[in-house]
Amino acid sequence: MTKELYDLHDAPPLGEVPPKMHAWLIRPERFGEPTQAFQREVIDVPPIADDEVLVYVMAAGVNYNNVWASLGIPVNVIGARNKAGEPEPFHIGGSDASGIVYKVGKDVTSLKVGDEVVIHCGIWNRNCPWVKAGNDPMYSPTFRIWGYETNWGSFAQFTKVQAHQCLPKPKHLSWEAAAAYMLVGATAYRMLCGWGEHAVRRGDVVLIWGGAGGLGSMAIQICRALGATPIAMISSEDKRAYCESLGAKGCINRNDFDHWGMLPHWKDNAGYAAWLKGVRKFGSAIWEVLGEKRTPRIVFEHPGETTVPTSIFVCDTGGMVVICAGTTGYNATVDLRYLWMRQKCLQGSHFANDEQSIGINNLVLQGLADPCMSRAFTFAEIPDAHQLMYHNKHPHGNMSVLVGAPDFGLGISETDPHLADHLPLPPSDTHTIPPSPFPLSSPSALSTAYMSERLDEVELKLVDDGTLVKDLMHRGLISCGPDATLEEAAKTMMDRDIHALVVMEGDQAVGVVSQTDIVLARQGRTAAEARQLSARAIMTPGCASCDAGLKLTEAVSLMTGRRLHRLVVTEGGVPVGMLSMTDVVRKLLSD
């Protein structure tokens, strides 16, 4: 007789589905940090459609998407689904899982009760005309990420998924290891193998950002398995051995360079010259790792804003920069001259279709790719695992949580077929917070020859007349506290005839409220609502700053590179004044 509800580690008899289950739910009234948003509840097991299966979840993978789901930003996933006609007022997240099939829909022929599976997170409507016509379902308007854009993810005893999402679980892996790799692995596989003539080929050099991260660790292994030569980017030396053990030919530490971030404006000769110097130094580092002057045919991108200019520069003629995220920002800048003259491609990529998910799973099944599971948690720790991610303190590689599996290390039914031993992750290998939005490394002269030489011919005039920031800055800061209202901030700007206010919390400059911020804050709100907003809510967080002793030319490059109009000037780290573009223009006109 099926019970109403089974304890977490007390699996129901195979094929018997109880009416209720334990699950971690996010509800809109709890939106906030993961430890606040996630709450354990008992809930009805969902019914399944004809093309779906119900899987008893043994373990689930942890991904950043459900940090966003708990915060309720940038999208309220529950509200969005309610609007689309799905009534549930909650979200069960989880976009990676391993488990056992307990029930199959009537149209499902590929699976049976008892099958041990891993689940990929791509969902689409089989009746979509685009899909029916045999096109890539990743372009279907019905495409969704299961356990983020859809409900009933893997942070529950049962999850409902479309049959095609289920792939054979590698028998040499524990439940938790099997739950760790699919989302990042399939994403990396599509990026590297899904783009026609740009698919990775034997002998290709591939530059991989964040080599010790979830995506990067899978990308290194895919490249190696396909006979390419991966070079991994790292930010600390303790990741070097790890990336090399996965198959990287060598690593480059991004902290050895300082040219990161948006490109300086092309009219900013001094700034552009400094950037070119940096990017060329970076290119030389690639040659050094390779031991020969070759250029990456593929650059595997996800940091975005801070690294894209470099990625485009170092990518080979006719090569591809393939990107699936903009973790450091979305306003990437591109020197189009390199793109068109060298006929490079900047390719967007998002998750994967069935074929690509099968591609990564086959590599794992054969032991050619390891899930790189760095840490597994218990079911009770699901909010904590997400909280670690929220604070960017999670270990590198991939994380998972036990759900139905009663202990760690279970589920292995065959000998591990790994072809190579991987070094364990360094214990201290956690993210630094937050990723610096300002690491521009110097792009190399990889693509050197033609274009770089042409650029060398440009006469670069540095207008450094010895002026320092302190010679031009305004001493004293016009500021407000974080709790000042928009109305108070706007009034100060009008009264003092200035365009921006520094937001000070104690003696720390924590942000800037500019007139642009005020205009943006007014959008979608009544004037009365906008007036009451706090400076903290509308400010652009963080302050671009420079030391009073910096050369004026360098400060100008900093501003043009970040499309900023002002810098907070510091002395000994303490904010003491402001330098604005207006001051620079005045100087230029008076010289």
Q: What is the DSSP letter of 11?
A: P
Burial class from Cβ neighbours inside 10 Å (0-12, 13-18, 19+) for residue 14 reads exposed
Contact range with ligand NAP by CB under 6 A, out of 36-44, 131-139, 231-239, 485-493: 231-239
- Nearest CB to ligand NAP, comparing residues 309 and 577: 309
Shortest distance, position 119 Cβ to ligand NAP, whole Å? 15
> Nearer to ligand NAP by C-beta: 148 or 158?
148
| Minimum gap (Å) between residue 313 Cβ and ligand NAP | 15
Q: Can you give the length of the chain in residues?
A: 591
459: Cα separation from own chain's centroid: 39
Tokens encoding 446: 């990889």
CB of 213 to ligand NAP, least distance (A): 2
Q: Is 386 in the site for ligand NAP (CB under 6 A)?
A: no
Closest CA to 582 of 474, 510, 468: 474
Instruction: Name the residue nearer to ligand NAP (CB basis): 12 or 147.
Output: 147
Which CB sits closer to ligand NAP, 185 or 575?
185
Which pairs with CB-CB distance under 8 Å and at least 24 residues apart come from 380-384? 380/40, 382/24, 382/38, 382/60, 382/62, 382/155, 383/24, 383/34, 383/35, 383/37, 383/38, 384/34, 384/35
Q: Are 118 and 164 in contact (CB under 8 A)?
A: no
Q: Is 91 in the site for ligand NAP (CB under 6 A)?
A: no
Comparing CB distances to ligand NAP, the nearer of 327 and 452 is 327
- Assess 375 for contact with ligand NAP (CB under 6 A): no
Q: Which of residues 164-223 bind ligand NAP (CB under 6 A)?
A: 183-184, 187, 209-210, 212-216
- Closest to 556 measured CA to CA, from 335, 233, 269: 269
Nearer to ligand NAP, 371 or 575 (CB): 371
Given the complex with ligand NAP, which of 209 and 390 has the nearer CB atom?
Answer: 209
Residues 6+ apart with CB under 8 A from 500: 493, 512, 513, 514, 515, 565, 566
Environment class of 234 (CB within 10 Å of its CB; exposed 0-12, middle 13-18, buried 19+):
buried
Taking CB under 6 A as the criterion, which residues in 55-74 touch ligand NAP? 64
Of residues 103, 120, 297, 396, which one binds ligand NAP by CB under 6 A? 396
Dihedrals phi, psi of 260, to nearest 5 degrees: -70, 160
Contacts with ligand NAP, 474-513, as mask; x by CB under 6 A: ----------------------------------------
Beta bridge partners of 541: 511
CB of 135 to ligand NAP, least distance (A): 19
Nearest to 437 by CA among 347, 341, 541: 541
- Kindly state the smallest distance separating residue 440's Cβ from ligand NAP, in Å: 9
Residue 95 or residue 269: which is nearer to ligand NAP going by CB? Answer: 95
Nearer of residues 269 and 361 to ligand NAP, judged by Cβ = 361
Q: How far is the CB of 47 from ligand NAP (least distance, A)?
A: 29
Range in contact with ligand NAP (rule: CB under 6 A) among 194-202, 227-235, 415-423, 573-581:
227-235
Residue 77 or residue 521: which is nearer to ligand NAP going by CB?
77
- Closest among 395, 441, 437, 194 to 303, alpha carbons compared: 437
Peptide bond into 137 cis (omega under 30): no
Q: Determine how many CB atoms are found less than 10 A away from the CB of residue 285.
A: 22
Report the alpha-carbon distance of residue 533 to residue 525 in Å, rounded: 10
Please spell the DSSP secondary structure of 224-242, one letter per residue: HHTT-EEEEEESSGGGHHH
Q: Name the residue nearer to ligand NAP (CB basis): 218 or 568.
A: 218
Per-residue CA distances from 107 to 21, 123, 333 (Å): 25, 16, 48
Phi and psi angles of residue 463, each rounded to the nearest 5 degrees, phi first: -95, 60
Total of chain residues touching ligand NAP, rule CB under 6 A? 30
User: Pairing between strand 205-208 and 298-301?
Assistant: parallel
Q: Taking the complex as a whole, how short is the minimal distance between the CB of residue 302 and ligand NAP, in angstroms? A: 4
Q: How far is the CB of 416 from ligand NAP (least distance, A)?
A: 24
- Cβ-closest residue to ligand NAP? 213
Q: Which positions from 291 through 350 interact with ligand NAP, judged by CB under 6 A?
A: 302-303, 306-307, 324-325, 327-328, 350
> Of all helices (H) and strands (E), which one includes residue 282?
helix 269-290
- As measured in angstroms, the least distance from the Cβ of 513 to ligand NAP is 25
Query: For residues 237 and 407, which CB has a smaller minimum distance to ligand NAP in the complex?
Result: 237
Residue 8 CB partners (closer than 8 Å, separation 6+): 22, 157, 379, 403, 404
**282 binds ligand NAP per the rule CB under 6 A:** no
Nearest CB to ligand NAP, comparing residues 37 and 233: 233
Q: Closer CB to ligand NAP, residue 138 or residue 455? A: 138
The minimum distance between CB 429 and ligand NAP, in angstroms, equals 9
Query: Using the rule CB under 6 A, which residue among 117, 180, 208, 233 binds ligand NAP?
Result: 233
- The whole-angstrom separation of Cα 319 and Cα 103 is 46
Unique residue bearing structure tokens 């077929």: 417
Nearer to ligand NAP, 172 or 190 (CB): 190
The 411-450 contact track toward ligand NAP, x by CB under 6 A, reads: ------------------------xx--x-----------
Angstrom distance (rounded) from CA 27 to CA 89:
7
- Please name the amino acid found at residue 35: T
State the binding string over 544-563 for ligand NAP (x if CB under 6 A, else -). --------------------
Binding mask 237-256 for ligand NAP (x = CB under 6 A): --x--------------x--
Give the three-state DSSP class for 385: helix
C-alpha to C-alpha distance for 222 and 220, rounded to whole angstroms: 6
391 scored as a contact of ligand NAP (CB under 6 A)? no
Closest approach, Cβ 568 to ligand NAP, in A, equals 21
Min CB(441)–ligand NAP separation in Å: 9
State the chain's maximal CA–CA distance in angstroms.
91
- Residues linked to residue 250 through DSSP beta bridges, in sequence order: 231
Binding site for ligand NAP (CB under 6 A): 64, 183-184, 187, 209-210, 212-216, 233-235, 239, 254, 302-303, 306-307, 324-325, 327-328, 350-351, 396, 435-436, 439
